[in-house]
Structure 1
Amino acid sequence: MPEITRPVKAIEVNYVCDKCNHGMMKHSGGMDASTGLVPHRCMICSHEQNFKWVSYPKIRYVGIDEHGD
């Protein structure tokens, strides 16, 4: 099948800290290959939390006429 192109826009996706409800979570280490867990730390309160198979902040691409929801 031939390639096709379309314009897209980049949407930044962040995770708000579950502890302080203000800071954004940022990955603080690499993914553990055996568990898929990625360590993160809140940029305000330093709360630590792991996410499985995802690293924040991340970028999502959507079509120009689509919403990033």
Structure 2
Amino acid sequence: MMGEIKRAVQPIEINYICDNCQHGMMKKSGEMNEDTGDTLHSCVICGHQQTFQWVEYPRIDYVGEGENF
């Protein structure tokens, strides 16, 4: 049986740069479709829309302290 372990982590923000203008970040602009996982996003600068599957931007992830990300 495995026991619990604890370790220090740090939060990191993950963004997606717009494929259209190459400058703005994509931001979730609709709700995720629970059947397909599709979520509409819009660029905060040019308004370009793009759909991502099973992921939302921006998001927060975690890495172990001292780990490269």
TM-score if structure 2 supplies the norm length? 0.93
Q: How does 1:9-48 map to 2 (within 5 A)?
A: 9-48=10-49
Letter aligned with residue 62 of structure 1: V
Q: Distance in 1 between matches of 2:62 and 2:26?
A: 20
Q: Which residue number corresponds to residue 9 of structure 2?
A: 8
Letter aligned with residue 48 of structure 2: H
Tell me how far 1:45 sits from its aligned partner. Answer: 0.4
Letter aligned with residue 9 of structure 1: Q
User: CA RMSD of the aligned region, Å?
Assistant: 0.7
Q: Distance in 1 between matches of 2:55 and 2:42?
A: 14
Number of paired residues?
68
List runs of 5+ in structure 1 lacking aligned partners: none
Q: Distance in 1 between matches of 2:3 and 2:51?
A: 40
Runs of 4+ in 1 over 2 A off after TM superposition: none
- Identity level (%): 56
CA deviations over 1:7-60 (Å, ceiling 9, x no partner): 000110100000000000000011011211011000000000000000000111
